[in-house]
Structure 1
């Protein structure tokens, strides 16, 4: 075991050096020379200091992502010994298996939250230092408490279903668990905009009646039966700007951050809202769910074989008593985390396709490329976002086309 940990530390150290050397090199964010001086050139709408700060912030966030993701996997492996101790403790405290499972999940979830709390605090301080975050420590701790409750309840439900299925179908649990995950995904998608989102932020109907009328008119032209547009009070948390659509069916919500209302002109906001309506009209949420379900089918099958291989070969080293042992749950979490990291490029590639489709819809409905360009120039400026990203970062973190790509597309409709 000591030899394994030593090799893990050596491998992780070499990885950190390699990824740091890549992300800290100087020319990662350069744009093609042919675009110099055009609308896509950040020097035409951002100061030199803003450009330097946006690139610096991107490097920090990307480096944190690429370091903490494998660190979490390694930590889960190291914590298997702690998981065995937690299992022994809950079995001594309670006789009922359900109570043992609930307390084990809460203990292990709390441990992970505490161990990764410094990373969350570091990212908060970074955003504050760069002038993006207005979040207070009360908000920080309040959000973490809510996350613990929501994630704890969700994890308990998922683990209970998993163990119930595993006990009854040890050789086909991956298929039945995948089947059971479909209604769970739909349920969460339905309740998120009306139950979960309001736990964290204050939503209210859009106060600007003139803009509301323009947005609802755009919705009517898009054949969207919308009666309300929402704004969420985000200025108490951030200076960044954003808008989004969430939920499906009657629970779908078009939401603007109050920061976007303050920093963008109405015609610029309309191009952004037309983009969000494009997601609704083209049923991107449904397509995303379908894509996720299809991808998870392969994921569950791979997880089944990886989990069985690990338990069969190495469970005795840690004192794990079979696949249905509570102490084996971190193994499954490790596998899921690894697969999530590896599959990120595929998920982001799909996301970039539907985001571009929403941009196409926006231009179809507004035809106002000039306002769209101005909107994304301001988004880059206010959010401190580089107009382009290195390919590796775009593969693993880029859920949207780069700002440069989007501005270049909108140029066709500018006048």
Structure 2
């Protein structure tokens, strides 16, 4: 085991050096010479200082992502021995297996949360320093506490289901667990806009009645069953611009960040909202759910075999008693974290396809390429987003097409 840890540590060290040099020193944001001076060139709508800040912030965020994801995998592996001690502690506290499970989950989540708190706090301070975040320390800690509680409750429910299914069908638990996860995914998707989102922000009806009427008219043309448009007070957290339409069926909710209302013109807002409505009309929410369900089917099958392999090979060395041992749960977390990291390019490629489809829909509805170009120029400026990203970053972090590519698409409709 010592040899394994040394090998993994050395590999991570080499990987970290490569990523630091590439992300902090590489020429990552140059645009094609043919686009210099066009509406896709950031020098035409951003100052040199804003461009430098956007590129610097992107480098830092990307480095944090590429280092923290493998580091999380390594820490889970490193703390498998600690998990055995946490399980023993839980067993000393309670005889009931359900209570032991609650104690174990809470303590392990707390341990991982504390270990990665410095990364979260660092990114919080970076966003403040670059002027993207307006979040106070009180809001940061409040959101962190809510995240912990929701994560704890969700994890306890999933672990309880997993252990019951594993006990009932040890050789087929992965498929039964997958079948049970489907209604849970649908339930969370349904309640998120009306229950979970308001836990973090205050929503109120859009005050601009003229804009509200225009958005609802656009929604009616798109056959979206919404009678209200909401604005959310994101300005207490960020200077960035965003909007969205989420929910299922009659539960659809059209939401604008108040920063968007302050920083975009009405015609620019309408193109953004048409894009968001495109997701709803083309049923991207349902397609995304179906894609996630299919991906989880493959992931759980791989996790099943990986789980058994790890336990058979190293379980006794870590002091793990078997597949239903609480101390074995971090192995599942390790496998899921690893698969999430390596599957990110496929997930982002899928996301970029539906995001482009929503852009196509927006132009179909408004035909206003000029307003869309101006909107995305504002988004790049206010969100401090480089108009293009290097391939590696786009594969692993790019859930949307490059702003440069989007502007060039909208240019076809610039009249």
| TM-score w.r.t. length of structure 2 | 0.99
User: Is 2:60 the counterpart of 1:56?
Assistant: no
User: Is 2:85 the counterpart of 1:78?
Assistant: no
- What's the CA shift for 1:224? 1.7
User: Is 2:221 the counterpart of 1:221?
Assistant: yes
| 1:112-191 superposed matches below 5 A | 112-191=112-191
- What's the CA shift for 1:173? 0.5
In the TM superposition, structure 1's runs of 4+ consecutive aligned residues that sit over 3 Å from their partners are none
**Structure 2 spans left out of the alignment, 5+ residues:** none
**Structure 1 spans left out of the alignment, 5+ residues:** none
SS of the aligned residue for 2:234 comes to: coil
Taking the aligned partners of 2:246 and 2:112, their CA distance within structure 1 comes to 28
Q: Deviation per CA, 1:15-37: give whole Å up to 9, x if none.
A: 00011111123421000000000
User: Is 2:388 the counterpart of 1:371?
Assistant: no
- What's the CA shift for 1:3? 2.1
SS of the aligned residue for 2:254 comes to: strand
Aligned twin of 2:302:
302
Aligned twin of 1:265:
265
Residues 204, 232 of structure 2: 8 Å contact kept: yes
Aligned twin of 1:242:
242
User: Is 2:256 the counterpart of 1:256?
Assistant: yes
Deviates further, 95-104 or 219-228: 219-228
Number of paired residues?
A: 415
Taking the aligned partners of 2:220 and 2:253, their CA distance within structure 1 comes to 15
- What's the CA shift for 1:195? 0.6
SS of the aligned residue for 2:236 comes to: coil
Taking the aligned partners of 2:239 and 2:267, their CA distance within structure 1 comes to 21
Residues 225, 250 of structure 2: 8 Å contact kept: no
Taking the aligned partners of 1:12 and 1:26, their CA distance within structure 2 comes to 20
Residues 225, 249 of structure 2: 8 Å contact kept: no
SS of the aligned residue for 1:386 comes to: coil
Aligned twin of 2:33:
33
CA RMSD of aligned residues (A): 0.7
- What's the CA shift for 1:148? 1.0
Residues 226, 250 of structure 2: 8 Å contact kept: no
- What's the CA shift for 1:305? 0.3
Taking the aligned partners of 2:338 and 2:155, their CA distance within structure 1 comes to 18
Aligned twin of 2:92:
92
Residues 206, 229 of structure 2: 8 Å contact kept: yes
Taking the aligned partners of 2:161 and 2:206, their CA distance within structure 1 comes to 41
